[in-house]
């Protein structure tokens, strides 16, 4: 992934800044010993820091689909890592270095991300943008003077280039088979088609289940059925109906039985 970014930067600078000039593009550490050996004009892009871009971290999982559109696996979303490059120009005269840095700055300011047509390898396969920024102030926990001190060299005019690269290396979670409707049965109605629970006939409706029982539940062994006075036969459980007989005179002078 890092070497692919190096290739994109090298081709971009050679095509739009150097324009075929006899200036090399290298990625060496600009130490004091290295600077003493420089004998030709060159542009140095030193990768001095790699850290995750926490502002771009995402949560959750991304789905992978097959040709039918079914989910076959899930992966974590890409995580972005910031690659920080220290760009310096090396020539015999400071004026030429400044002119070269000016051309580099003008070129990189034209892009908010690496040109998609120059991406190759895994960067092109991901299909995501690769944002970059140029010459922004350094973070509070780091200064360019500290970088030069760590390299053991003298402070030199430079550009700070930061590229946020997506990395998709993460575990792959296989998805189970899609849920089908095999074996699924649904019935609608007041009474199931077949009930094996306790039932009892009521006026106007027959075969009603007894309260407290359910289809498929066997009858309790040795259960006694309570008998109420005034009924023709035994009633079960809480479905017992209590009947009270009384004489009442209706409007037509007939006597009727009221049921409570």
* The pLDDT of residue 195: 47
Domain count, the chain: 2
Same domain assignment for residues 136 and 224: no
Same domain, 159 and 242: no
The whole-number pLDDT of residue 210 equals: 62
The pairing of strands 79-90 and 172-174 is unpaired
pLDDT given for residue 14 in this prediction: 92
Tell me, yes or no, whether 113 lies in a domain.
yes
How much is the pTM?
0.62
CB contact set of 160 (below 8 Å; sequence gap of 6+): 84, 85, 86, 87, 134, 135, 136, 138, 144
Structural domain including 205 reads: 194-260
Q: What does pLDDT average to in each consecutive run of 10 residues of the chain (260 residues)?
A: 92 89 90 90 93 84 78 81 94 93 94 91 86 86 76 86 87 72 62 56 68 54 50 46 52 46
């Amino acid at each position: 992934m890092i070497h692919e970014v190096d290739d994109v930067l090298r081709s971009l600078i050679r095509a739009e800044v150097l324009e075929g000039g006899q200036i090399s593009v290298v990625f060496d550490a600009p130490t004091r010993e290295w600077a003493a050996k420089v004998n030709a004009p060159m542009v140095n892009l030193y990768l001095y820091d790699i850290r995750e871009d926490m502002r771009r971290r995402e949560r959750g999982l991304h789905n992978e689909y097959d040709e039918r559109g079914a989910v076959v696996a899930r992966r974590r979303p890409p995580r972005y890592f910031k690659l920080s490059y220290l760009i310096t120009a090396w020539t015999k005269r400071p004026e030429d270095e400044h002119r070269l840095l000016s051309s580099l700055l003008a070129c990189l300011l034209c892009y908010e991300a690496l040109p998609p047509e120059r991406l190759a390898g895994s960067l092109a396969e991901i299909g995501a943008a690769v944002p970059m920024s140029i010459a922004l102030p350094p973070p509070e926990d780091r200064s360019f003077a500290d970088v030069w001190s760590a390299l053991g060299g003298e402070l030199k005019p430079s550009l700070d280039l930061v590229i946020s690269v997506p990395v998709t290396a993460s575990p792959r979670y296989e998805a189970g088979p899609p849920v089908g409707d095999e074996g699924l049965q649904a019935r609608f109605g007041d009474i199931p088609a077949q009930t094996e629970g306790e039932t009892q006939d009521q006026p106007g409706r027959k075969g009603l289940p007894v309260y407290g029982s359910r289809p498929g539940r066997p009858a309790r062994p040795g259960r006694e059925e309570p008998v109420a006075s005034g009924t023709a036969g035994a009633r079960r459980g809480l479905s017992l109906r209590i009947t009270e007989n009384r004489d009442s005179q209706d409007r037509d002078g007939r006597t009727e039985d009221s049921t409570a």
